[in-house]
Every structure is written in structure tokens, then in C-alpha cells.
Amino acid sequence: MPLHNLGRGMGMSHAHMPTPAFLPGLELSRRFYTEAVRSLLEEAAPGIPHTAARIGPGSEVLGYDTERSADHEWGPRLQLFLHPHDVPRHAARIRHMLAQHLPKTFHGWPTHFAATGDPDVRVMQITDGPVHHRVEVTAVSSWFRAALGFDPASGVTPAQWLATPTQLLAEVTGGAVFHDGLHTLTPARTALRWYPHDLWLHVLACQWRRIAQKEAFVGRCGEVGDELGSAVEAGRLVRDLMRLCLLMNRRYPPYGKWLGSAFARTPAAPRLTSVLTSVLAATDWHVRERHLVHAYGIVAHLHNELELTDRVDAATRPYHSRPFQVLRADRFTRALTARIKDPDLRDLATVGAVDQFIDSTDVLSDPDLTRAATDAVTGIDAVTGIDVHDGDPCGTANGGRGHRHHSG
């Protein structure tokens, strides 16, 4: 999700109007459709088949919006989906009808969204002229291609799954559909509700792999007197454990701002939250490691409860001959990979979906960039699903499934 400058010029204009009582954005959008938009749509294009929804970016789509959300890119807004052949015939007239005849406010909130210094951000503001509304009029297929880079109605390839950040999958499967007269949006969202089983195993295996690569560093940093470095590595492990719990619970991890809020809704949260908080609060690496060991045991037991693999020993152990307690999380990676039936997927590099190996906001917000990154790292073209590296499925002549060992 793009990061925006929330400085001067942001926020709803409050000139001579009280701040209305907060209404969760999804409910506001639902009422906006049923009480204001639907009748104007019927007037502009009588009887036109359509679907109305509020999906895509926005804290309200994930159910995390509060009064604070109203300062930008929040308010009475939704998508109106038409048949592809109806978009060029009716969309402009519908947009114009809404601009001219929508009420200036709805339940106290302005329906006009004014420009700011950021071209990607608008804010609610009272206007005396036509309303610059946030009712998007488009086709379902066009919307998905813009949001994800593909139309799920045509099927979703393994490469497309892997090239799509979980934060985008959360946004397109979240929110609400208010009316599905086209009967196309709901099937598309259902197709994206969760990974196919083999892909789920692969993504889980790769998440455990991330933990395996870092779990010894908390102690090693601390041993050389680098408590700050130890704390940083522990924070990375906490984040990976939280994302792992969401993936095990079949929930797409959202972008960073809402990771803790999403984690709090998982069954693991009551057992893990205080433990992970203690990891982050520790100022001594021995204490930090002790809490991490506790967390590892809980998450390992959660894995075994899923019965996706044979039982994996949940006990921690020393890292080689060093006095650092680790889970050796690669054992979970191997157990999960062994259960993948698709040989092509089983042989992929254990890097996973794009947001398991890249965390750049700019990349994860752009389907073209996530597709290119996935192609380069996994060797599978995210459009065709074809191996583009001529027999080297990892695209690295010296790498294969392996990764450089970080010694020292």
C-alpha cells in the first residue's frame, strides 16, 4: 500500500459543520449504495445489470477503520461493476449523473473528494459544485486486472498466486458485496479465498524457512555484546511468527500497519501475544531467547495440530555446538515440502510468495513489479506459468533450492 504524505491539506473540511458520528466505512458504503447511488443508477441506466461492492485498498475493507481513518481516502465510496459491453455505453452517463445529483453530504459525511498535494490521495470536502465522487464504474474483469494483474475468472496459475502479495489478496477477498446482479464478482472472490492445498503447503514451508534462516542470530548478536542487533533480529522473528500464525489459520497477512490487528483475531493470539510482547520488551538476549523458545514451542504445537504433516518434534535444541536454543525450523519446511504432490511446485526454490522475499512497499503495490520479481526469483512466468530458466527452476545456476550459509 503506498505511503502518503499526510501533512498540510489533508483531512475533511469542517467549515461550519460538526463532525458526524463515526460509522464503520463498510456500513457507510452499504447505506450509500442502497440509499443514494442505486436510485441514481436506475435513473441513468434503467434496469442495467450491475454489482455493487466495497473492496480493494482501505482500512474499512479489512474492518480496521476508526475515526482517524476519515482524514483521507475514506468515506462514502464503492465500486459499481457493469457488464464489459455496458461500460463504454453507460459508464460516463452514470458517473455524470452521480456527480450532478448525489447529495453533498451523506449521513453527515461529504460525498465530494477534493484533491490534495498527493495525486493519489483525496479527502472529503463540502462543495457547491458537482461532486467528485468515489463511485468507481468499471467491469469486474478490468478491476481485477488493474488490482492484481490478472482476472481470476480465467483461472489462477501457481505463478499468479505466488506473484500476488497477501495484502492484495486480503483486500480483494475482504470488504463486502452489496448486490451481485452480474453473478461474477462473488465467484471471483471465492476463487481467491485461499491458496490451493499444495500452494498453501509451499507458502507455509517457505515461512518456516525464513524463521530457520534467522533463529540463531538472536543469541549470536547478544554473545558479542550487540543487544541492539539481537533485538532487531528478534523483532524480525516475531513478525515472521505472526505471519506464520495467520497463514496457518488460512488468513492472508495484511500490510504492516494492520499485522498486529489481524494477528489479534487468530486463535493463536491469546497464547502468544504476551510471549511475543516479552520478546520485544527484553533488554537482555538470554531473556529474549527464553521467550522466543516459549513462542517456538507454541507455534510448533499449532503446526502439529493442523495434521498437515507427520508430527514434528516441537522441542528446541542447541544450534550446532553453540549455546543458542533454536527450533531448527527447517525441519518443518522439509515436512511440509514432502507433502506437496505437484512435482513442479515441490521443486521450486523455498522462497515462497513475493511478499515472503520482498518487503518494498513500492514493489508490493505494483502487480507488474511483483510479477517481474516472481519471474526472476522462482523462474516461473507469472503470466504463462512456463519455466523461463530452461531447466533451472530457481533461475540460479549455483543456487538451486539452496541459500548461502551465513556463517560467523
Q: Is residue 58 part of a domain?
A: yes
**What grid cell was written down for 252?**
492472508
151 and 213 share a domain?
A: no
Q: Identify the band that residue 300 occupies on the pLDDT scale cut at 50, 70 and 90.
A: very high
Residues 314 and 398: their CA atoms lie apart, in Å, by 33
229 and 81 share a domain?
A: no
55 and 77 share a domain?
A: yes
Q: Identify the band that residue 120 occupies on the pLDDT scale cut at 50, 70 and 90.
A: confident
Give yes or no for residue 340 having a pLDDT over 90: yes
Give yes or no for residue 203 having a pLDDT over 50: yes
Listed residues 346, 381, 400: the one ending a domain: 346
Q: Is residue 13 part of a domain?
A: no
Listed residues 172, 191, 210: the one ending a domain: 191
141 and 236 share a domain?
A: no
Q: Which of 2-16, 304-318, 354-368 has the lowest mean pLDDT?
A: 2-16
Q: Is residue 3 part of a domain?
A: no
Residues 347 and 392: their CA atoms lie apart, in Å, by 10
Question: What are the tens digits of pLDDT across the range 68-118?
Answer: 998 999 999 999 999 999 999 999 999 999 999 999 999 999 999 999 989
Grouping H, G, I as helix, E, B as strand and the rest as coil, residue 233 is helix
How many structural domains compose the chain? 2
**Residue 284 belongs to what domain range?**
197-346
Looking at residue 385, its pLDDT comes to 54
152 and 292 share a domain?
A: no
Residues 292 and 214: their CA atoms lie apart, in Å, by 12
158 and 203 share a domain?
A: no
Residue 264, domain CATH: 1.20.120
210 and 181 share a domain?
A: no
Q: How far is CA 101 from CA 36, 94, 104, 142, in A?
A: 9, 11, 9, 26
162 and 176 share a domain?
A: yes
Q: Is residue 62 part of a domain?
A: yes
CA dihedral 4, 164, 209, 386 (to 10 degrees): -140
Q: Identify the band that residue 11 occupies on the pLDDT scale cut at 50, 70 and 90.
A: low
Question: What are the tens digits of pLDDT across the range 171-181?
Answer: 999 999 999 99
For the stretch 299-326, what's the b/e string if a residue is b when 16 or more beta carbons lie within 10 angstroms of its beta carbon?
bbebbbeeebbeebebebeebeeeebbb
Residue 319: phi and psi, rounded to 5, are -90, 105
Higher pLDDT, 110 or 391: 110
Listed residues 156, 191, 226: the one ending a domain: 191
Span 368-377, mean pLDDT? 94
Looking at residue 401, its pLDDT comes to 37
183 and 38 share a domain?
A: yes
CA dihedral 100, 102, 105, 110 (to 10 degrees): -70
Question: What are the tens digits of pLDDT across the range 128-138?
Answer: 999 999 999 99
Of 239, 136, 144, residue with least CA distance to 185 = 144
Give start and end residues of each alpha helix (H) in 253-329: 259-263, 269-281, 285-306
250 and 338 share a domain?
A: yes
Q: Is residue 15 part of a domain?
A: no
Q: Is residue 408 part of a domain?
A: no
Q: Is residue 93 part of a domain?
A: yes
Q: In this structure, what DSSP letter does residue 271 have? A: H
- How many CB atoms within 10 Å of residue 200? 18
The pTM for the full model equals: 0.88
Ramachandran assignment for 279, one of left (phi > 0), alpha (psi -120 to 50 degrees), beta (any other): alpha
Span 52-66, mean pLDDT? 95
204 and 161 share a domain?
A: no
218 and 76 share a domain?
A: no
Looking at residue 317, its pLDDT comes to 80
Q: Is residue 363 part of a domain?
A: no
